[in-house]
Amino acid sequence: MARGAPTGITVIIVGLGIAGLSAAIECHRQGHTLTQPNLGVGDIIGLSGNGLKVLSRWSLTEESIVSRLAAVGSELSSVEVYSDAGECKHVIPFGADDPAQGLFLRRSDLVNEMYRHATVDLGLDLRFGVTVDEYWETETAAGVSINGKEKITGHCIIASDGLYSKARAIITGEEPLEDAAALLQTGGAIFRSNFDASEVANDSDARWVLEGTSEHDRHEIYFGRDVTILVGTIGKGKYVWWNCPHRDASKATENWVQAASVAPVLAYIQDWPIARKLSAVISKTPQGKCFNHALVTRKPLGTWVSQQGRMVLIGDAAHPFLPHTGQGANQSIEDAAVVAICLRLSSLAMEDGEGDGVPLALRAMEKLRHKRVSVIQQGSIEAQEVSLEADLDQNASSDRFNAIARPAWIHCYDCVSHTHEEFDRVVEAVRKGTEYIPTNVPVDGKFHAEDDYRLAMGASE
């Protein structure tokens, strides 16, 4: 889709992770001018249909960013679920011919492709190594002070500065996440790693993970009591990755880039009948390529929007997720698309003399997003507990997280179309101060994890 006509709105975006890069690209596409005062890395990330619907619109040439991502991601035919004895419990089809079904790739590859699109394809000016010292807003503008001297002014600020957001307390008035009252300890932690496949290629016990990967990558999940092992490959066997979500008896650090030893993981699974097979791969992890960190989140914020309506939180700054629903990146991408669209539609809806529409846009975006994100955020906490129970049969048959559930209300959702459809109704609620009932969550307002993705897709064909 071509870039929209200029709106005259200048957006300041703070943070250059997935949320911030998505916001930069989406704001540019909607015709806003932007300036961006700070790139993230990590291990494996999943993009589901709802996130890919946004990215599929990022095409300026015959090559789309989704095709670029697919070229460096996993090409899967299935995801296989096992017990700790190595018994295959479920085989979940995962067709490469249905990209909306999802895509697994390295987080660094996702961020790099977003960065490439923003800078090379769109020519956006992204700034690194910038310290934001101060945020401020008035009735007509918002801005930041950077590096202790320079001030940048715009019509609004999108704060996408992550889990430990400095902007959060300023925008919402709620306590910072470092405050024990705000931090929600989930009792879980996760080891994670990815490395070049050459590390296992010549080991007779470990190279099983590469078998068949010239045709399809692997994605296997092994459930034990209080410990789960996920292992697979990326790029048709170019990279090996593994994760180990576990109950946190050691109070792991919250620093997600602090290197750790694989020894605790090997100890966790030493009594599993399948231990020798999995340990052969895990033990080949190069030094400095394993990380262990606590899984923390926080209760949903009362608001994401500042008092005068010119600053808004998105992504982890607004709603940190646990990884068990695979929605952290996807909801950040949804946030970015919706806020950019609302800014454009609000600017068009304002009558002469009514202002630029920014406060209306940010408050409309919050109403469209807050309930949906809060429900999925709570679902990620429930999913962690269910996954560590290791009751595969129950998890597969009930409306609960079942290893890799794909609920249609999450995965088949198109936030772009929905925002255009709902905009007039949500704006009326903002202007009149009346209740807005969201239509992008289950009608009972609770998290449902039924794996009804294929059923919904079949009904739409």
* Residues belonging to the active site: 192, 222
| Phi, psi dihedral angles at 245 (to 5 degrees) | -70, 140
DSSP β-bridge partners for residue 364 = none
| Phi, psi dihedral angles at 415 (to 5 degrees) | -70, -25
Closest residue by Cα to residue 154 from 13, 248, 26, 45: 13
3-state secondary structure the chain: CCCCCCCCCEEEEECCCHHHHHHHHHHHHCCCEEEECCCCCCCEEEECHHHHHHHCCCCCCCCCHHHHHHHHCCCCCEEEEEECCCCEEEEEECCCCCHHHCEEEEHHHHHHHHHHHHHHHCCCCECCCCCEEEEEECCCCEEEEECCCEEEEECEEEECCCCCCCHHHHHHCCCCCCCCCCEEEEEEEEEEEEEECHHHHCCCCCHHHHCCCCCCCCEEEEEECCEEEEEEEECCCCEEEEEEEEECCCCCCCCCCCECCCHHHHHHCCCCCCHHHHHHHHCCCCCCCEEEEEEEEECCCCCCECCCCCEEECHHHCCCCCHHHCCHHHHHHHHHHHHHHHHHHHHHHCCCCCCCCHHHHHHHHHHHHHHHHHHHHHHHHHHHHHHHHCCHHHHHHCCCCCCCCCCHHHHCCCHHHHHHHHHHHHHHHHHHCCCCCCCCCCCCCCCCCCCCHHHHHHHHC
Closest residue by Cα to residue 190 from 388, 394, 48, 442: 388
